[in-house]
Amino acid sequence: MSLKGLARLMGSGGRWVTFQQTASLSAASLLAGLLLGCEPQAGSIQPPQAGAGDGKVVIRITEEPYYQQEKMNRKMKALEDYLEKSGEIDVEYVPAINYAHSHQLLLSGKVDLLWAGSLGVAQVEEQDKDNLIQPLAVEKPSFVNVLLVSKQASSALKQSLKEKNPLRSLKRKRVLFGSRSSGSSFLTPLLEMKDQGVALSDLKSCAYEPHHGHRADYFASSRDYDFAFMPGQAEDPLRLVSPSAQADVEVAWLSEPKRNYSVLVSEGNSSPQRDQALKAIQSALTAMDLSSGSGSGELLKVMGVAGFDLPADDVYLEQNRRISELSSELSGRESCLDIDAPAG
């Protein structure tokens, strides 16, 4: 049975995979921890296949490059070890050069799975002309947008953050975002701002710093910006802010918890063995529990999520639709580079 035969469609333009219990799907891996500047040898990536003579299915995973390579390697190794316990599977991590490369690895069928943020999901779906890409699992609603402010900020500024629409405090202020290609630290903050009546052009100035840790450290050590956006978890908003930076910054505002990350699967290269592996992976992901004594709780902390659900959430579909629309709206147009500081 192909993955498409197992998929059920939900919502306008939303494609969600829910594997039937009767489907023969078993093990596999997930995710690849992309690492910036780590480029695979040209021509070295072949389509996923069964293990050579050992009866195991090889599942290849990649991830958008959010962190330094060493950290991503640790994350992927822990995930590989966990997923390989779910069946006769060999999980292979394929580092990606950048966000676009990670997307193409999945779209071309050179990997089976992609760990992607909300913007990456929207971009992959837009490029998926043959409808071969499906969500395998989605993050539980625990992701939050975190707005940082200096502990030395004026009392008047801090007071304005207690208003009904606190993000209006960003008007005519200097704001530090993540990568322009990031849903977690640029696109979703823009949507939150939009919902409170603030546009990018309302800011005095803004800039991008792709590396989460560097952004927090720079914001804490300089006075070049009034605010900085960070991704976080509801139970640990400052998880990506170093202890040294935490001494100088505080949380100015938190969004409501939402979903951000998804594990996407390619329908290409389908086979009964591969389908069994993917079923096993989906089951292993959704079984992970922060309070679990089996070790999955610690793995979730390493991965920066609270767990996974099956992909059947209309709210998540709507969020991805809005992100896709905003991304298209901004494409080649408005950015921090286009903002002129108002006179005075």
Question: Which string of DSSP letters, residue by residue, matches 80-146?
Answer: HHHHHTTSSEEEEE---SSHHHHHHHHHTTS-SEEEE-HHHHHHHHHH-TT--EEEEEEE-S-EEEE
Same domain (yes/no): 27, 134: yes
Token pair for 321? 């639709």
Looking from the CA of 133 toward its CB, the CA atoms found within 13 Å total: 28
Integer-rounded Cα Rg, in Å, for the chain is: 21
Same domain (yes/no): 15, 50: yes
Share of the chain above pLDDT 90, in %: 51
CA dist., res. 305 & res. 236, Å (int) = 10
Q: What is the pLDDT of residue 95?
A: 93
Across the range 228-241, mean pLDDT stands at 94
Say yes or no to pLDDT of 18 above 50: no
Q: With bands split at pLDDT 50, 70 and 90, how would you rate the model's confidence at 191?
A: very high
Boundary-marking domain end, from 240, 258, 276: 258
Say yes or no to pLDDT of 242 above 80: yes
Considering its fold, how many domains does the chain have in total? 2
- Buried b / exposed e over 41-80, threshold 16 CB at 10 Å, is eeeebeebebeeeeebbbbbbbbbbbbeeeebbebbebbb
What backbone torsions phi and psi does residue 291 show, to the nearest 5 degrees?
A: -90, 5
pLDDT tens digits, one per residue of 278-296: 999 999 999 988 776 667 8
Q: Is residue 331 part of a domain?
A: no
Same domain (yes/no): 54, 94: yes
Q: What is the pLDDT of residue 21?
A: 34
CA dist., res. 144 & res. 261, Å (int) = 12
With beta carbons less than 8 A apart as the criterion, state whether 284 and 59 touch.
no
Same domain (yes/no): 159, 239: yes
Nearest alpha-carbon partner for 176 in 247, 248, 239, 230: 230
Share of the chain above pLDDT 70, in %: 80
Same domain (yes/no): 253, 263: no
Q: Is residue 322 part of a domain?
A: no
Same domain (yes/no): 155, 291: no
Same domain (yes/no): 134, 148: no
Greatest CA separation found in the chain?
Answer: 72
Token pair for 330? 């901004």
- Buried b / exposed e over 301-339, threshold 16 CB at 10 Å, is eebbbbbbebbbbeebbebbbbbbebbeeeeeeeebeeb
Q: What is the 3-state secondary structure of 191-257?
A: HHHHHCCCCHHHCCEEEECCCHHHHHHHHHHCCCCCEEEEEEECCECCCCCCHHHHCCEEEEEECCC
Same domain (yes/no): 104, 163: no
Task: Report which secondary-structure segment, H or E, holds 179.
Answer: none
Say yes or no to pLDDT of 16 above 80: no
Q: Is residue 318 part of a domain?
A: no
Q: Is residue 326 part of a domain?
A: no
Q: Is residue 332 part of a domain?
A: no
Same domain (yes/no): 164, 220: yes
Q: Is residue 134 part of a domain?
A: yes
CATH number of residue 10's parent domain:
3.40.190.10
Q: What is the pLDDT of residue 334?
A: 63
Same domain (yes/no): 106, 120: yes
Q: Is residue 106 part of a domain?
A: yes
Amino acid at 95: P
Same domain (yes/no): 299, 246: no
Q: What is the pLDDT of residue 329?
A: 81
Whole-prediction pTM value?
A: 0.75
The domain containing residue 171 runs over which residues?
A: 143-258
CA dist., res. 247 & res. 203, Å (int) = 26
DSSP conformation class of 339:
P
Say yes or no to pLDDT of 194 above 70: yes
Q: Is residue 237 part of a domain?
A: yes
Q: What is the pLDDT of residue 278?
A: 94
More confident residue, 279 or 22: 279
Same domain (yes/no): 134, 169: no
Q: What is the pLDDT of residue 292?
A: 61
CA dist., res. 211 & res. 175, Å (int) = 15
